[in-house]
Structure 1
Amino acid sequence: MKQWLYCALLGLLVVVAPRLGASEMPLNMTQGVTNISGQVYDLHMIILYICCAIGFLVFGVMIYSMIFHRKSKGVEPAKFHHSTKVEVIWTVIPFLILIGMAIPATKTLIAMEDPSNADLTIKVTGSQWKWHYSYFNEDVEFFSVLSTPRDQIEGDATKTDTYLLEVDKPLVIPTNRKVRFLMTSDDVIHSWWVPAFAVKKDANPGFINEAWTKVDKPGTYRGQCAELCGKDHGFMPVVVEVLPEAEFDAWLADQKLAAKQAEVEAAASLNKTLSMEELMAQGEQVYLASCAACHQPNGAGLPGVFPSLIGSPLIKGDVSAHIDIVVNGKPGTAMQAFNKQLSATQIAAVVTYERNAWGNNSGDSVQAIDVSNLTTGAATSSSAETEATQAVPDATSAVETIEQAAETVVSEVQEIASEVAQAVEADLSELTHEQLMSEGEQVYMASCVACHQANGAGLPGAFPSLIGSPIIKGDVSGHIEVVKNGAPGTAMQAFGALLTPRQIAAVVTYERNAWGNNSGDTVQAKDVDSHGQ
């Protein structure tokens, strides 16, 4: 009897001890700050208690048997080969335990995978090694990059409490609003993970995954990429700043204003000429922030992985080719396109820096206008040409130069206007049903297949099927409206600014007649162009 009492006390300690100190255990799962994270924590603790109870019973029976049924006490083992009762017991009891674990787990998983009725949708794109955030229908987007100083990474300075968990621009979301995340990637598989939200979702290139959160408590929450995405996997943190609703609305308005101001400043910067010293100083900062992760701070790269920039053919070659690879990247390699990440001035500075640092000493000086000319299709001017243009001998020749430039601009504008008018007229011409279906399939595979799938079946619970759907069976104008202007509160973007009326007409015709829909509807570009007028 005494032995059984000791066993019972031991079992009580095993089961109750985790509950008493669970929240203080440094290695235990944290409770988080959202309702879902609380459900995940409770589920974790329930499973833990069940495992502790099973372990106590199993090992308790084993220890009791070894002590009280040992051979030295003269116990004779039972001799039997089959017991239906025992087999039923050890089949039914584990089955009931699994059912008891599956019910709360299923409820939690269903809640975690329900991003419907979101108040805000944010597209999260991973790339080596940074995050890009785009707020749907708000015209706000930015990159979030590790901001830990290089001297801390190299061990030359004391590491802070947020070492490798700090960024230049955190993701900002509001409290008390459901935020939906659409995850994808530009290159390899990443994983966006914030433990406090109980959100961990893979970002796969070519696919879109969904997650959501609703945070009640303002604050700064940190996470990181949880997928082995390359050599700098550990330098890809996630920082989310949660603001009260009023503060978030003010922040969003400020971001929109800042984006417009940045456009004005970028346009103004094209008329500025920086000295070689200014370009080199700014270029070094840009290089260390955006390029050093691959090409190393000393420009030596990683042999077999990332090329060296010291005396490389790119550095020794044409300046325009150098600018082009920084602006547009290089398909099939890890070299990203920086045209959306850096301004024309920053690209000019980093190209100048790369062509003159580490002993390259090319003497080339690149200005923002050179980058702008290349991206707009104009010929890139060399530093000598820029200086010659600026060295106008007197005011008279300067006026003549301006007048000639003005005449050229007017002529080019007239030509462009004529070409646009002809293109619009051609775009609004009528096509046969077969032509629309052929072109519509191409547009669908380029712009729609990532969400609705190649067979139109969509992704249940995430993206609706287009096979026999209400939008397909309904009025054509409603279908055009959704494609042209999107559907607020969903992942359906507005394609009115991305596709021409002809392309929209083609894809609507295709969707209404593909995959067995066979509506017989034929939509022309003029129908799309006149829609909403």
Structure 2
Amino acid sequence: MKQWLYCFLAALVAPSLGASEMPLNMTKGVTNISGQVYDLHMIILYICCAIGVLVFGIMIYSIIYHRKSKGAVPANFHESTKVEIAWTVIPFLILIGMAIPATKTLIAMEDPTNADLTIKVTGSQWKWHYSYFNEDVEFYSILSTPRSQIDGDETKTENYLLEVDKPLVLPINRKVRFLMTSDDVIHSWWVPAFAVKKDANPGFINEAWTKIDKPGVYRGQCAELCGKDHGFMPVVVKALPEAEYDAWLQEQKQLAKNAQAAAQAALSETLSKEELMAEGEQVYLSTCAACHQPNGAGLPGVFPSLIGSPLIKGSVAGHIDIVLHGKAGTAMQSFAKQLSAKQIAAVVTYERNAWGNDTGDIVQAADVNNVATGDTADMSSPTAKQPTEASTTPTEPVQADVGDDMAATVMPVDLTELTHDELMTEGLQVYTTSCLACHQATGAGLPGVFPSLIGSPIITGPVDAHIDIVRNGKPGTAMQAFASSLSPRQMAAVITYERNAWGNNSGDTVQATDVNSHGQ
């Protein structure tokens, strides 16, 4: 009997010795929270195993030693107060024992306060956009697995479908707060090594956090069924020592400064049709083929074909506009921030001349700039005109190509004066795309997280203070600076809208000149 007891105890203890090395078991990860989750998992697993061994052990023992062939006579009794109390109290105590550590871990997981760094994570089909608050650093992270591997023409590599062109870079030993949202459908940002898995919902903000203990590259993916290419939406995080992270951050800022000058110069470039077609094909395969297919045929009933479509046969300006700004109510998203003016010109040229379309249209970066600024007078002919000398026409944000590592945003100044109604209309659009995720469609915000804009001090206070917080953000909060992502006209419109929507009715009308003069 003692030998059986020793074997039973050994069977319970042995798994814990090598549990962390088991390939099918949960891993400990590289954060304190992931370690807590692992320990909680193992505690509950052992409790469940012990219950299972006890229950099935009694059952097997009873079946063997109390069978009819051994002359066992069943007991004849009805009800037992002691047994009923036992099978009520014991499970209750077990659940309490499991709930205490679980509650502690859950509370710790949901505490993003006192973060050293805040990053906004925006999901869209099928990529992630990362924005570092108060650092003017933002970029898209897109699957970099070659199409040839996906199609089975090449051998799949070790990190197949778990590699991106630009990973999220984070420092170790610093608390990082994530604000999760989405541009289209529900996504889920998941990195198992951090024990972080949080849904990104359109129109809402979810919070999560992590503090990484070890440098390295950690991989995850979207854990929500977000569309047909759901499996092509990986998450890659590169964790660096603090000094290396600070150096990387400064490098990104310097690249952004250099890129602005290079981007402006790129608007005067004139490329041949062959050059545009070659670059356009690369951009199309990496950015557009997921929906419209490599052959341009789309998916009937889901994504439209580009072969001889009304968009291709229509005006060049209309084609550029839908690539720049997307199409509301559809899966066609805006690429104004993701692609440079040169890349948009190339892909539009490619789409209008590939797959037998053969329109002959040639689009240059300057044409994209003209559409972004509303100046399409030079684009009435089927073939877009070549760029002329630098124009003095006010413009809105547009990107120009500066290489694979950085697509810079150029921010010329649009000082067009609009009526109050025009500002309210444009302000609603800007608010919906840039502010709604935090402050909600009703302006009511999220109590304790994002302040309400209904009758708030910022709304009832001076206009200059409102302009300042939109332009420059507010350090130590989730309010980021929009000076680099919105034009003066867009900021003027959204400020006018916020000061007059939801019953605020301040009567204030803010023009682009007000915003521009405030920044000088």
What code does the residue aligned with 1:282 have? E
Residue pair 1:11, 1:56 contacting (<8 A) in 2 also: no
Residue pair 1:225, 1:236 contacting (<8 A) in 2 also: yes
Residue pair 1:11, 1:53 contacting (<8 A) in 2 also: no
1:282 aligns with 2:269: no
Superposition RMSD on alpha carbons, in Å?
A: 3.8
1:30 aligns with 2:17: no
| TM alignment of 1:148-187, pairs within 5 A | 148-187=145-184
Match of 1:386 in 2: 385
Deviation at 1:266, TM superposition (A): 2.0
Counterpart secondary structure, 1:212: strand
1:197 aligns with 2:184: no
Residue pair 2:140, 2:166 contacting (<8 A) in 1 also: yes
Aligned in 2, Cα 1:462/1:18: closer, same or farther, shift over 3 Å?
Answer: farther
Residue pair 2:394, 2:415 contacting (<8 A) in 1 also: no
Aligned in 2, Cα 1:443/1:296: closer, same or farther, shift over 3 Å?
Answer: closer
Alpha-carbon distance between aligned partners in 2 of 1:343 and 1:287, rounded to the nearest angstrom: 13
What code does the residue aligned with 2:194 have? F
Deviation at 1:262, TM superposition (A): 2.3
Match of 1:518 in 2: none
Counterpart secondary structure, 1:291: helix
2:236 to 239, 247, 253: 239
Alpha-carbon distance between aligned partners in 2 of 1:60 and 1:186, rounded to the nearest angstrom: 54
Alpha-carbon distance between aligned partners in 2 of 1:410 and 1:127, rounded to the nearest angstrom: 33
Q: Which runs of 5+ in 1 are unaligned?
A: 391-401, 413-418, 428-439, 515-521
- Bigger-Rg structure (1/2): 1
What code does the residue aligned with 2:478 have? A
Match of 2:371 in 1: 374
Residue pair 1:210, 1:462 contacting (<8 A) in 2 also: no
Alpha-carbon distance between aligned partners in 2 of 1:88 and 1:182, rounded to the nearest angstrom: 48
Match of 1:125 in 2: 122
Deviation at 1:203, TM superposition (A): 0.3
What code does the residue aligned with 2:209 have? W
TM value normalised by structure 2? 0.82
1:65 aligns with 2:65: no
Alpha-carbon distance between aligned partners in 2 of 1:532 and 1:294, rounded to the nearest angstrom: 41
TM value normalised by structure 1? 0.81
2:207 to 205, 210, 227: 210
Alpha-carbon distance between aligned partners in 1 of 2:450 and 2:146, rounded to the nearest angstrom: 41
Counterpart secondary structure, 1:133: strand
Match of 2:51 in 1: 54
Match of 2:407 in 1: none
Match of 1:85 in 2: 82
Deviation at 1:479, TM superposition (A): 8.8
Alpha-carbon distance between aligned partners in 2 of 1:465 and 1:42, rounded to the nearest angstrom: 40
Alpha-carbon distance between aligned partners in 1 of 2:144 and 2:119, rounded to the nearest angstrom: 22
What count of residue pairs does the alignment treat as equivalent? 485
Aligned in 2, Cα 1:182/1:297: closer, same or farther, shift over 3 Å?
Answer: same
Counterpart secondary structure, 1:126: strand
Alpha-carbon distance between aligned partners in 2 of 1:5 and 1:300, rounded to the nearest angstrom: 71
Residue pair 1:452, 1:459 contacting (<8 A) in 2 also: yes
1:308 aligns with 2:308: no
Match of 2:222 in 1: 225
Match of 2:96 in 1: 99
Alpha-carbon distance between aligned partners in 1 of 2:299 and 2:463, rounded to the nearest angstrom: 56
User: What are the Cα deviations for residues 74-118 of structure 1, in whole angstroms up to 9, with x where unaligned?
Assistant: 111111221111010000000000000000000000000000011
1:488 to 475, 479, 482: 475
Deviation at 1:263, TM superposition (A): 2.2
Alpha-carbon distance between aligned partners in 2 of 1:326 and 1:65, rounded to the nearest angstrom: 73
User: What are the Cα deviations for residues 265-285 of structure 1, in whole angstroms up to 9, with x where unaligned?
Assistant: 221111111111101110110
Alpha-carbon distance between aligned partners in 2 of 1:465 and 1:292, rounded to the nearest angstrom: 41
Aligned in 2, Cα 1:524/1:187: closer, same or farther, shift over 3 Å?
Answer: closer
Alpha-carbon distance between aligned partners in 1 of 2:313 and 2:158, rounded to the nearest angstrom: 43
Alpha-carbon distance between aligned partners in 1 of 2:358 and 2:429, rounded to the nearest angstrom: 48
Residue pair 1:14, 1:52 contacting (<8 A) in 2 also: no
Aligned in 2, Cα 1:70/1:255: closer, same or farther, shift over 3 Å?
Answer: same
Aligned in 2, Cα 1:9/1:67: closer, same or farther, shift over 3 Å?
Answer: farther
Aligned in 2, Cα 1:245/1:304: closer, same or farther, shift over 3 Å?
Answer: same
Deviation at 1:359, TM superposition (A): 1.6
Deviation at 1:465, TM superposition (A): 7.3
Deviation at 1:489, TM superposition (A): 2.4
Match of 1:271 in 2: 268
Deviation at 1:457, TM superposition (A): 7.2
Deviation at 1:306, TM superposition (A): 1.2
Deviates more, 1:134-143 or 1:14-23: 14-23
Deviation at 1:475, TM superposition (A): 10
Aligned in 2, Cα 1:354/1:200: closer, same or farther, shift over 3 Å?
Answer: same
Deviation at 1:508, TM superposition (A): 7.5
Alpha-carbon distance between aligned partners in 2 of 1:455 and 1:494, rounded to the nearest angstrom: 22
Match of 2:424 in 1: none
Structure having the higher helix fraction is 1
Counterpart secondary structure, 2:385: helix
Deviates more, 1:97-106 or 1:314-323: 314-323
Deviates more, 1:317-326 or 1:231-240: 317-326
Aligned in 2, Cα 1:243/1:377: closer, same or farther, shift over 3 Å?
Answer: same
Alpha-carbon distance between aligned partners in 1 of 2:82 and 2:464, rounded to the nearest angstrom: 65
2:142 to 138, 145, 157: 145
Deviation at 1:261, TM superposition (A): 2.3
Residue pair 2:364, 2:384 contacting (<8 A) in 1 also: no
Aligned in 2, Cα 1:455/1:157: closer, same or farther, shift over 3 Å?
Answer: closer
Deviation at 1:453, TM superposition (A): 5.5
